[in-house]
Amino acid sequence: MHRNGNGPMVLSGLILAVCLVMVCALSLVFGSRSVSPSDILHALSASSDDIAVSAIRLRIPRTVLGLLVGAGLGVAGTLMQGISRNPLADPSILGFNTGAALAIVCSIAFFSLSTPAQYVWVGLLGSATTALVVWAIGSLGPSGPSPLRLTLAGVVISSVLGSLTSAVLLPRVNVISSYRFWQVGGISGARFDLMMPVLPLLTLGLILAFCLTPGINALTLGDQMAEGLGMHVGRVRSLAWLAAILLCASCTALAGPIGFVGLVVPHVARLLIGPDYRRIMALSILIGPLLVVGADVVGRIITRPSDVEVGIVTALIGAPVFVILAGRRRTAEV
Amino acid sequence: MTSSPAYDAWSSAHKLTASHLRLTYGGRTVIEDLSLDIPPHTMGSIIGPNGCGKSTFLKAMARILKPASGTVMMDGEPITSMPTRKVATILGLLPQNPSAPAGITIADLVARGRYPHHHFVERWTTKDEKAVERALALTGLTDMAGCPIDRLSGGQRQRAWIALTLAQQTDILLLDEPTTYLDIAYQLEVLDLLSTLNRQEGVTVVMVLHDLNMAARYSDWILAIKDGRRFALGTPDEVMTENLVREVFDIASTVVTDGTTGAPLMTPAPLHSLEAHSGEACNAHVHWDDSAG
């Protein structure tokens, strides 16, 4: 149900889609080893043992992971800003990342877990548990979970878990060295076999997010107005929180804590297309991947032949972009 | 009451009743025992001092607050057992502080009133478009439809919210202090609009109002609440008496008949309002008496 002409929406969507395809192509081309476009075609189609071709084959899972993580974080950020009516809501503010970090640090320190496959599950467990605790604390009080209480609970839990992580980490030098690669947030170690088990959770989260979007439009008018319009406010908010848990926990488990994506993507989408969450959501699923894959490509180019992890680049790009956005009146409120 | 084609097309005379409601908020009983039959196609006001529970009562009538005991019935069926979307096609609510997403245009805001008429992936139809156009026309906002809501005056903004509830196409409209924060001109603008909707479209209007004279001027009936109970219910002439103003609001007043509208008009008595509060002991009061004497 779109009231206005779809012109601006189709145009934005098209431009973003083209940019996304281009960035994906760059992601396959750029790296320590240069390859030609014909090598890419070879790698995608025929079987060849060329070194260039195998370089590209390594970059395919990395690009796919960038797309998945970008989509997941972008949509999760949009969802969280919508249900909390808080323009600063983001997976890291609500404690998801610190929860995953603590779980992983503990698993390295006390259970000697060391493989990425183990990190995925431990991280998933950590951020999901944290999200449930934040939800439970935010729901205390007579009128159920309110946007403000959720945000406060997230900030408080985040700082507690952050301190605990430091406490476990600092005396253990060997843990620091295993942990630091996860901690910066990256997609360079992408492997399809690690992605597969998390993919259903991510997909479920995305589907749920899109189903809830019309309700989020009503929710932005205030809880009472939304109920007056016939929405089950509590039910929609709980389901949206569940979707956000699925998305953020999957992304954090796969790629570590990547900041700013969930925060910036909804603002960029809102700037492009206005306050309708059905449209913001649709653009978020394009802008998120564009940002993450783009940041990964930038990270590979600026310090060639080595890599700067995507989590560092998104923060470097994201922070100034966010400062500019915050100065504009349209983005001051959700 | 004149009947327009649009009004016939909506629905005829939905009946909203509350029987023996007891309402609590955060463990505190706000409304003890309150019943009300809302007469269809009338415009009514709920008055009472701050904290008497009038907004709470309105929320319960709008099914967004569950009563501790008692029931709100819509056409004889408990409102809480009806699908909430179905209720939203019969009953509209304008809460006290709705929030408008930044940058939203009037037309887009009003279009969100169509929410209860849509199921999962239904497309925007000409019926929706007509409802929105009509709501804009009734509120005099057609020419400003593309204007962002943050650039409007207080009265225009309130008209836009009312337009949203009109796009919802409900038979009954509940409004929680629709004139708060508006200056006198905008108050009249909003109340005139509601009165027109009531008379021309047959919409049943129930509002919580602070201004007694506005309530008397625009209402067919007034419910006065004191200490969580019904103090009086009747026409403005029956309810707006010097006795009621003293009992409910604790102030002395004179009630006369407004020469132009024929409605009762309340004027607080000079100084008496201070005397009524003398039990609250304040030094300034004593000093005031001394100098006056």
Asked whether the beta carbons of residue A224 and residue B26 sit closer than 8 angstroms, the reply is no
Q: What residues make up the domain containing B177?
A: 16-268
Average pLDDT in chain A: 83
Q: Is residue B7 part of a domain?
A: no
Q: Quote the number of domains for chain B.
A: 1
Picking from B91, B93, B115, the nearest residue to A224 by CB comes out as B93
Residue given tokens 């009037």 in the structure block: B106
In this prediction, residue B4 carries a pLDDT of 43
Q: Is residue B241 part of a domain?
A: yes
In this prediction, residue A32 carries a pLDDT of 61
In this prediction, residue B288 carries a pLDDT of 46
User: Scanning every residue of chain A, which has its alpha carbon at the shortest distance from the alpha carbon of B112?
Assistant: A218
- The answer, yes or no, to whether residue B289 has pLDDT greater than 50, is no
What is the rounded average pLDDT of the residues A77-106? 83
In this prediction, residue B2 carries a pLDDT of 41
Q: Is residue B100 part of a domain?
A: yes
Which range is least confidently modeled, A318-327, B30-39, B59-68? A318-327
This complex has an ipTM of 0.83
Tokens standing for B98?
């709705």
Q: Is residue B284 part of a domain?
A: no
In this prediction, residue A88 carries a pLDDT of 74
Contact of A53 with A43, CB cutoff 8 Å: yes
Q: Is residue B155 part of a domain?
A: yes
Q: What is the pLDDT of residues A164-201, one digit of tens each?
A: 988 988 888 878 877 777 777 778 777 888 888 889 98
- Nearest Cα of chain A lies from the Cα of B253 at a distance, in angstroms, of 36
Q: Does A195 touch chain B (CB under 8 A)?
A: no
Asked whether the beta carbons of residue A274 and residue B102 sit closer than 8 angstroms, the reply is no
Give residue A323's pLDDT band: very low, low, confident or very high (50, 70, 90).
Answer: confident
In this prediction, residue B292 carries a pLDDT of 42
The model carries a pTM of 0.83
Q: How many CB atoms lie within 10 A of CB B165?
A: 25
Q: Which residues pair with B230 in a beta bridge?
A: B225
Q: Is residue B273 part of a domain?
A: no
Q: Residue B56: which residues within 8 A CB-CB, separation 6 or more?
A: B23, B25, B30, B31, B65
Q: Is residue B291 part of a domain?
A: no
Residue B46, domain CATH = 3.40.50.300
Q: What is the pLDDT of residues A205-259, one digit of tens each?
A: 999 999 999 889 999 998 899 999 999 988 998 899 889 888 988 888 888 888 8
In this prediction, residue B3 carries a pLDDT of 41
Tokens standing for B184?
């006198």
- The answer, yes or no, to whether residue B153 has pLDDT greater than 50, is yes
Asked whether the beta carbons of residue B112 and residue A214 sit closer than 8 angstroms, the reply is no
B103: which chain A residues are within 8 Å (Cβ-Cβ)? Answer: 270, 274-275, 330
Asked whether the beta carbons of residue B102 and residue A333 sit closer than 8 angstroms, the reply is yes
Tokens standing for A28?
């396959």
Q: What is the pLDDT of residues A275-299, one digit of tens each?
A: 899 999 999 999 999 999 999 888 8
Q: How many CB atoms lie within 10 A of CB A192?
A: 11
Q: What is the pLDDT of residues B186-240, one digit of tens each?
A: 899 889 999 999 999 899 999 999 999 999 999 999 999 998 899 999 999 999 9
Q: Identify the burial level of A328 via C-beta atoms within 10 angstroms of its C-beta, where 0-12 means exposed, 13-18 middle and 19 or more buried.
A: exposed
Q: Which amino acid is at B48?
A: G
Which range is least confidently modeled, A101-105, A274-278, B116-120? B116-120
User: Scanning every residue of chain A, which has its alpha carbon at the shortest distance from the alpha carbon of B170?
Assistant: A229
Asked whether the beta carbons of residue A275 and residue B26 sit closer than 8 angstroms, the reply is no
Q: Which amino acid is at A58?
A: L
Q: Residue B80: which residues within 8 A CB-CB, separation 6 or more?
A: B63, B66, B71, B72
Listing DSSP states for chain B in one string gives ----HHHHHH-S---EEEEEEEEEETTEEEEEEEEEEEPTT-EEEEE-STTSSHHHHHHHHTTSS--SEEEEEETTEEGGGS-HHHHTTTEEEE-SS--PPTT-BHHHHHHGGGGGG--TTPPP-HHHHHHHHHHHHHTT-GGGTTSBGGGS-HHHHHHHHHHHHHHTT-SEEEEESTTTT--HHHHHHHHHHHHHHHHHH--EEEEE-S-HHHHHHH-SEEEEEETTEEEEEE-HHHH--HHHHHHHH---EEEEE-TTT--EEEEEPTTHHHHHTGGG--HHHHHHHHHH-
- The answer, yes or no, to whether residue B16 has pLDDT greater than 70, is yes
Instruction: Please count the residues of chain B.
Output: 293
- Nearest Cα of chain B lies from the Cα of A273 at a distance, in angstroms, of 10
- For A248, the enclosing helix (H) or strand (E) is helix A233-255
Asked whether the beta carbons of residue A334 and residue B102 sit closer than 8 angstroms, the reply is yes
Q: Is residue B117 part of a domain?
A: yes
Is the backbone peptide bond immediately before A305 cis, with ω within 30 degrees of 0?
Answer: yes
- DSSP class of residue A220 equals T
